[in-house]
C-alpha cells in the first residue's frame, strides 16, 4: 500500500502543477492537454495509473478484512479512543471510499469528455483537447464546486495520515525522523491540496488570471464583461483572452 500510495501522491503532484497552469494561461493548459491527449504514451500512463489505484484499493480491503478477522467480533479491547490516535487513521477506509466516489465523478467530468471522447472519436460540448473549457464549465456549476471541495478535504485527511504511514512502512522513519516526517507530510499535502482548491475557486469565483487577462479582446458571445464571458461562453478560452 505504501509504494502505490506514494506513486499516487507523485501523480497528484504532477497533476496539481499541470492544473495550476490553467489559472494563468488557457493556451498553455490546452497545449499540455493536447500533448497528453489520447497519444499512446498517455494511454499507457493512464493504464499504469489505473493499475496502481486498483492495487491500492484491493490491498486496503484485504488489510481491513485481515485486521477485523484477527480481532474477532470484539474489535478492540479498549474501546475508549486514546486522544493520540488520529481521527484520519481510524477512518482511512471511509475516507478512501469518499475519495473513490469523488474520483469517479471527476473521471466522468474530465477523462470521459476528453481522453475517452478522443479514443472513441466523439465530440461533446467542447473539443476533447480543450481542457480549459471543460474546467470553466465544471466549476461554473456550484454543485460540482461543493462536491470537489468535500473531495479535496477528504483527500487532505487521507493523505496527511497516509504520507507518514507510508514512510514508516517503508522503514525510513526512525525515532527522530518520525515527527519530522509527520510535519513534512502535513506541509506537503496541504500545499498539494491548496493547489487544487486554488484552481477550483479561481474558476468558480471567476478570478483566475487566465479568465480576466485584461487584454481588451472582444467577447464573441455577446457578454460585455470578460469574466462573465469566460465563465459562460462556450469558446471562452479563445474568445476572451486569446492567450
Ligand atoms: C482542480 C481540480 C482538478 C482539475 C481541474 C483536474 C483536471 C483534470 C483533467 C482536465 C483531466 C483530463 C486529462 C486528459 O484526459 O487529458 C483529469 C484527469 C484525471 N484527474 Fe484530475 N483534475 C483535478 C483534480 C484531481 C485530483 C484531486 C485527482 C486525484 C485524486 C485527480 C485525478 C485525475 C485522474 C486519475 C485523471 C485521469 C488521468 C489519465 O487519464 O491518465 N484530479 N483531471
* CA nearest ligand 1 atom 18, residue: 111
The dihedral formed by the CA atoms of 213, 31, 139 and 96, expressed in degrees to the nearest 10: -140
Model pLDDT, residue 13: 97
pLDDT in tens, 34-64: 999 888 999 999 999 999 999 999 998 898 8
pLDDT in tens, 89-106: 778 788 888 999 999 999
Shortest CA distance to 23 belongs to which of 198, 148, 194?
Answer: 198
Model pLDDT, residue 240: 47
* CA nearest ligand 1 atom 1, residue: 196
Cβ-based neighbours of 236, under 8 Å, separated by 6 or more? 26, 132, 133, 136, 211, 229, 230
- Say how far apart CA 223 and CA 232 lie, in whole Å: 9
Ligand 1-lining residues (CB < 6 angstroms): 12, 15, 19, 33, 36, 45-46, 49, 103, 106, 110-111, 114-115, 131, 134-135, 155, 196, 199-200
Model pLDDT, residue 79: 52
Overall average pLDDT of the 172-195 stretch: 90
pLDDT surpasses 70 at 77: no
pLDDT in tens, 108-137: 999 999 999 999 988 788 899 999 999 999
Copy the grid coordinates of residue 201. 475557486
* CA nearest ligand 1 atom 38, residue: 46
Residue 73: pLDDT band with limits 50, 70, 90: low
Cα(107) to centroid(ligand 1), Å:
7
pLDDT in tens, 159-169: 998 898 888 88
Model pLDDT, residue 176: 81
pLDDT surpasses 70 at 81: no
Overall average pLDDT of the 71-95 stretch: 65
What is the DSSP secondary-structure string of 58-74? HHHHHHHHHHHHHH-SS
- Say how far apart CA 108 and CA 128 lie, in whole Å: 13
pLDDT in tens, 190-200: 999 999 999 99
pTM above 0.95, yes or no: no
Model pLDDT, residue 178: 82
* CA nearest ligand 1 atom 37, residue: 111
* C-beta separation of 204 from 19 below 8 A: no
Higher pLDDT, 243 or 72: 72
What is the number of the ligand 1 atom nearest to the C-alpha of 116? 15
Amino acid at each position: 500500500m505504501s509504494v502505490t500510495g506514494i506513486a499516487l501522491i507523485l501523480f497528484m503532484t504532477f497533476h496539481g502543477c499541470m492544473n495550476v497552469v490553467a489559472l494563468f494561461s488557457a493556451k498553455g493548459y490546452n497545449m499540455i492537454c493536447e500533448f497528453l491527449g489520447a497519444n499512446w504514451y498517455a494511454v499507457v500512463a493512464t493504464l499504469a495509473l489505473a493499475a496502481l489505484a486498483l492495487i491500492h484499493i484491493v490491498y486496503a480491503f484485504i488489510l481491513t478484512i485481515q485486521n477485523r478477522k484477527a480481532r474477532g467480533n470484539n474489535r478492540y479491547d479498549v474501546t475508549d479512543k486514546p486522544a493520540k490516535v488520529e481521527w484520519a487513521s481510524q477512518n482511512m477506509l471511509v475516507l478512501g471510499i469518499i475519495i473513490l466516489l469523488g474520483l469517479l465523478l471527476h473521471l466522468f467530468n474530465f477523462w470521459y469528455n476528453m481522453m475517452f471522447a478522443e479514443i472513441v472519436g466523439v465530440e461533446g460540448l467542447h473539443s476533447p483537447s480543450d481542457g480549459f473549457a471543460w474546467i470553466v464549465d465544471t466549476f461554473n456549476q456550484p454543485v460540482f464546486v461543493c462536491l470537489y471541495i468535500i473531495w479535496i478535504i477528504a483527500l487532505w485527511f487521507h493523505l496527511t495520515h497516509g504520507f507518514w504511514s507510508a514512510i514508516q512502512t517503508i522503514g525510513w522513519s526512525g525515532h527522530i525522523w518520525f515527527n519530522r516526517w509527520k510535519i513534512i507530510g502535513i506541509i506537503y499535502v496541504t500545499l498539494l491540496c491548496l493547489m487544487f482548491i486554488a484552481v477550483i475557486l479561481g474558476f468558480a469565483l471567476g478570478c483566475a488570471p487566465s479568465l480576466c487577462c485584461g487584454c481588451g479582446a472582444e467577447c464573441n458571445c455577446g457578454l460585455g464583461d470578460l469574466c462573465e464571458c469566460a465563465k459562460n461562453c462556450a469558446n471562452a478560452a479563445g474568445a476572451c483572452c486569446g492567450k
